[in-house]
Amino acid sequence: MAVHVDVEAVRQVAKLAKLSVADGELPDLARDLERVLALVAVLDEIDVTDVAPLVHPHEQGLMTRPDVPQPGLSQAEALANAPAQLDGCFLTPRVIG
């Protein structure tokens, strides 16, 4: 089944993923994505009328843990890799709420 991906769709996906893509790269990416989607679209040929939906390949359900506090990281450890910090907080460029 043919899937059409236009340049606008690539631009939108890039924006959502916070990737900067030069305008010149868009047509090639659109073509590549079209081919990837066409590959996956092979699955559409399978008849799944009587097959229950599968959300996860594991047979085993979710494991849980008891509600007991565990030691974590200190403030200094938590912030150790932060490019910028202020007053014990991670500091990022100002974002408008």
Which region, judged by CB under 8 A, interacts with other proteins, from 3-11, 26-34, 43-51, 61-69?
61-69
88: left (phi over 0), alpha (psi -120 to 50) or beta: left
CA 42 from centre of chain: 23
Q: Is 8 in the site for other proteins (CB under 8 A)?
A: no
Which region, judged by CB under 8 A, interacts with other proteins, from 2-10, 11-19, 28-36, 43-51?
11-19
User: Which amino acid appears at position 32 of this protein?
Assistant: D
Q: Is 83 in the site for other proteins (CB under 8 A)?
A: no
For the CA atoms of the chain, what is the radius of gyration? 23
> What is the Cα–Cα distance from 26 to 4, expressed in whole angstroms?
14
The values of phi and psi at residue 29, to 5°, are -65, -40
Residue among 32 and 75 whose Cβ is closer to other proteins = 75
Q: Is 95 in the site for other proteins (CB under 8 A)?
A: yes
Q: Is 48 in the site for other proteins (CB under 8 A)?
A: no
Residue among 38 and 78 whose Cβ is closer to other proteins = 78
